[in-house]
Structure 1
Amino acid sequence: MKPLHFSFLSLTIMLLSIFCTAAQAQQSQTIQGIWLGKLEIKKDVHMNIAFEIESTEDQQLKAVLHSLDQKVYDIPVDEVVFDGSALTLKVLALNATYKGILLDATTLQGGLAQNSKDAFPMNMKKVDRLPVARAKRPQEPVKPYPYLEEEVSYRNGTANVTLSGTLTMPATAGPHPAILLIPGSGPNDRDQTIFGHRVFLVLADMLTRAGYAVLRADDRGVNKSTGDFASASVIDLASDAVAAVNYLKNRPEIDKAHIGLMGHSLGAEIAPIAANNSSDVAYVVLMSGSASTSGPMLFFEQCRAHYTSVGVSKAGIDLNEKILKKAFEIVRTEPDNELAKAKIKTMLQKMEKEVAKLNQQDRELLDMTIPLNSKEYTQFLSPAHRVDLFHNTAAELQKLKCPVLAINGSKDLQILPVNLQRIEKALQKGGNTHYTIKEFENKNHLFQTTSTGLIGEYGQLDETMAPDVVAYMVDWINSLSPLQSSQ
């Protein structure tokens, strides 16, 4: 009887499996589609948000977020969980989570929380199409490309992570000089998608057409890349860049004597660390890079530039910086996280009287509500943040011996162009004479042509990256002789 029992049990399990798979597929179909909602930020202030959910070939759900008012499309949703009634969508790039309950086939009731704050209400309705046309991105390449494209992966054995990415190469015979693109603050996908612009897709296309092999990869924990981005410091991310260089130099199509790093924003902070830990880096290009003796200085500059641009008073900006300085000093001096949290909470309670004196507009623009939210400050207590916050980028630049190109836009409000002078000073102090400094007029942080530089304008501009900026970088790289471009 055992064989009969075994066959019956196997059949039962098989039927249950089929039933469960069918049920899951039906649940999946219920939630698939375009969901449109109004994010209620405060009274009479809202943003139109859409989620587009679909199923993959292996019956997994995937999604993207569209911020319609900002004309920002296709922000990757990193986690999609749906159990037939409750939906959770996590967007790591925005540090945001949407949670909703399916009331019927076309209605979700829920809210969106960002930066660990309470959720803003956002109910959603299922619609047939987006209410507005997608923004034009005329610089995005259209297949078939006039060059080779390959999906690749490589290991960072030190960190036990695997990075996935795209390698593009000229169709002509190699070996080809290569460039590794290093993105800014993340987590980022390989295209460094920002406000609907696939910045690294466009940049890689231009560079590959100019004769370079280009590698761009997803950050840790993004798409097929393994690991945890949240726990990774700039030192950890630099080790990922070194792993990429090692991968490139072992490809027969690559000229291993001419592998360069091109980092944007935070990537321009990571690139020097990687170059100083690899003898295979021929040169470094710093796009909107910084040179500070500590992270807080850069952080304060960014806050001042941003809040000035949106209309916060000097009193409001000064108070915000005062609170940040106190919080960062606690982070710097108190190694015990629980004690640090308590000290930050006590400090914020003492500062609430001064916050209450600010006018309503300042409090709203600074997002300061009483009681002050300690989570906004205690997030810097993570090991990665502790490293990043006090990392000396100027000292790292002083160690660089390979050729360096540092560029910035005159309208950059995230990394102010004054950093070019600091980068030059650091390179000079380290004895590096093989460098070029260039400021581009009327270019913002993404090197788009602009008259304002405002962050909110990024998604509204059709241009992804100004061609003259890329042409200048290509000319500079081409100008390097084999002697100059090796350490």
Structure 2
Amino acid sequence: MKKILFLFIFICAQAVIAQEKSYTIREININEGLTGDLYQTKNTETVILLIAGSGPTDRNGNSSLTQNNALKFLAEGLAADDYSIFSYDKRVVAMINQKIPFEENPDFNHMITDAQIVINYLKNTLHYKNVIIAGHSEGSLVGMVAGKTTGSAFISLAGAGNSIDAVLKEQLIKQAPFLSDDINNILKELKAGNKVEKVNPLLASLFSPQNQPFLIEWMQYTPTDEIKKLKIPVLIINGTKDLQVSTTEAELLHKALPSSELLLIADMNHVFKNIIKDADNMKSYNDINMPLHPDLVKGIVTFLRKHKL
């Protein structure tokens, strides 16, 4: 009996070890500004490219303000299902690490170019046949534009449907209605391509001189227009507890491209966490141990397998 029990424990231990070793993580330097992790599985045909959201966000989905491992956990979850993953630090992260002055901050179009460089590297250097582009938040628009001719499928993770000026207008006025005139005037000028010299001190951080060129370029793109250009399978995902991008934005994208698939995940927030108590929503942005919502990886894998990817 003891021998049988020992054998059972040994088999279980070996199964756990095998599961842990279903993928390896290899850091890759594409160029001096682009470094990321390849979660390499036995699947040598398909790779999923994760593009991070707003701000100086790294390959794990973290920044100096938030530490939640959203992209790290997503990469691990998908790799466990035998999908190779590549997630990279945004160029601004390298600039911070190398102490490059922020007056040289890359513009929005540079982020699109960077994503295209990564896609080409995955296809031409690592020789993946299928590159699935999954962009989170701001990265959704970046991925739409960057991969419209080279991606095999596109996944929008909490991506906006409206242009960023409309999104900012709604968010900022909701938070500070007493600044509505200032907000409207600034956004109107930036949308027209004009820099704004005099900014209310309460809005100075967001609309700083360094940020304005970036915002001007970003405002020239409308996600509902860009998604129409995609001729590949598209999955649009949003959580019902997302405080930053509402499900209405996902529905706008789906309406713009009716052939897309829409997945609204109950109780998932902007950083892919399962929120039962509303009080835990913001706390989850700085909880590196809180796991992903269980339906996220499941939904992505179901979509990819449906399309034989």
TM range (shorter): 0.7 to 0.9
* Deviations 1:198-253, CA, capped at 9 Å, x for gaps: 2222111111111111111111142488888863333221211111111111245x
Q: CA deviation at 1:152?
A: 0.8
Residue 223 of structure 2 aligns with an amino acid whose one-letter code is: T
Q: Is residue 2:109 matched to residue 1:239?
A: no
Taking the aligned partners of 1:460 and 1:197, their CA distance within structure 2 comes to: 5
Instruction: Work out which of the residue numbers 299, 305, 329 in structure 1 matches 2:168.
Output: 299
Q: Is residue 2:163 matched to residue 1:163?
A: no
* Deviations 1:86-115, CA, capped at 9 Å, x for gaps: xxxxxxxxxxxxxxxxxxxxxxxxxxxxxx
The number of residue pairs the alignment matches comes to 284
Residue 268 of structure 1 aligns with an amino acid whose one-letter code is: S
Q: Is residue 2:290 matched to residue 1:463?
A: yes
Larger Rg: 1
Q: Which residue of 2 aligns with 1:33?
A: none
Taking the aligned partners of 1:241 and 1:282, their CA distance within structure 2 comes to: 15
* Deviations 1:119-157, CA, capped at 9 Å, x for gaps: xxxxxxxxxxxxxxxxxxxxxxxx9743222111224xx
* Deviations 1:387-446, CA, capped at 9 Å, x for gaps: 113422221112111111001011111011111210012214xxxx2x100111111111
Instruction: Work out which of the residue numbers 25, 29, 41 in structure 2 matches 1:149.
Output: 25
| 2:91 partner SS | coil
* Deviations 1:160-183, CA, capped at 9 Å, x for gaps: x5411111111x3x5331110000
Q: Which residue of 2 aligns with 1:438?
A: 263
Q: Which residue of 1 aligns with 2:230?
A: 400
| 1:418 partner SS | helix
Instruction: Work out which of the residue numbers 112, 119, 124 in structure 2 matches 1:250.
Output: 124
Taking the aligned partners of 2:288 and 2:92, their CA distance within structure 1 comes to: 29
Whether contact under 8 Å (2:35, 2:88) holds in the other structure is yes
| 1:165 partner SS | strand
Instruction: Work out which of the residue numbers 143, 147, 150 in structure 2 matches 1:271.
Output: 143
Residue 239 of structure 1 aligns with an amino acid whose one-letter code is: T
Q: Which residue of 2 aligns with 1:283?
A: 153
Any unmatched runs of 5+ in structure 2?
Answer: 1-18
Taking the aligned partners of 2:211 and 2:59, their CA distance within structure 1 comes to: 28
Spell out the pairing of 1:189-204 with structure 2 (5 A cutoff). 189-193=58-62, 195-204=66-75
Q: Which residue of 2 aligns with 1:185?
A: 54
Taking the aligned partners of 1:460 and 1:166, their CA distance within structure 2 comes to: 21
Taking the aligned partners of 1:280 and 1:391, their CA distance within structure 2 comes to: 19
Q: Which residue of 2 aligns with 1:103?
A: none
Q: CA deviation at 1:184?
A: 0.2
Instruction: Work out which of the residue numbers 241, 259, 268 in structure 1 matches 2:131.
Output: 259
Q: CA deviation at 1:268?
A: 0.9
CA distance 1:472–1:463, shift in 2 (3 Å): same
Q: Which has the higher contact order (CA 8 A, sep 6+)?
A: 2
Q: CA deviation at 1:458?
A: 2.7
Any unmatched runs of 5+ in structure 1?
Answer: 1-142, 156-160, 308-316, 349-370
CA distance 1:318–1:215, shift in 2 (3 Å): same
Spell out the pairing of 1:54-453 with structure 2 (5 A cutoff). 145-155=21-31, 162-170=33-41, 172=42, 174-193=43-62, 195-223=66-94, 231-251=105-125, 254-256=127-129, 258-276=130-148, 279-292=149-162, 294-303=163-172, 307=175, 317-333=176-192, 335=194, 337=195, 340-341=196-197, 344=198, 348=200, 374=204, 376-379=206-209, 382-428=212-258, 433=259, 435-450=260-275, 451-452=277-278
Q: Is residue 2:306 matched to residue 1:476?
A: no
Taking the aligned partners of 1:328 and 1:239, their CA distance within structure 2 comes to: 25
CA distance 1:446–1:376, shift in 2 (3 Å): closer
| 2:184 partner SS | helix
| 2:106 partner SS | coil
Q: CA deviation at 1:462?
A: 4.4
Structure 1 stretches of 4+ moved >4 Å: 223-230, 371-376
CA distance 1:247–1:333, shift in 2 (3 Å): closer
Taking the aligned partners of 2:23 and 2:216, their CA distance within structure 1 comes to: 42
| 2:247 partner SS | coil
* Deviations 1:33-78, CA, capped at 9 Å, x for gaps: xxxxxxxxxxxxxxxxxxxxxxxxxxxxxxxxxxxxxxxxxxxxxx
More helix by share: 2
Taking the aligned partners of 2:90 and 2:101, their CA distance within structure 1 comes to: 9
Residue 330 of structure 1 aligns with an amino acid whose one-letter code is: E
| 1:285 partner SS | strand
Q: CA deviation at 1:304?
A: 5.2
Whether contact under 8 Å (2:161, 2:223) holds in the other structure is yes
| 1:414 partner SS | coil
Whether contact under 8 Å (2:47, 2:83) holds in the other structure is yes
| 1:197 partner SS | coil
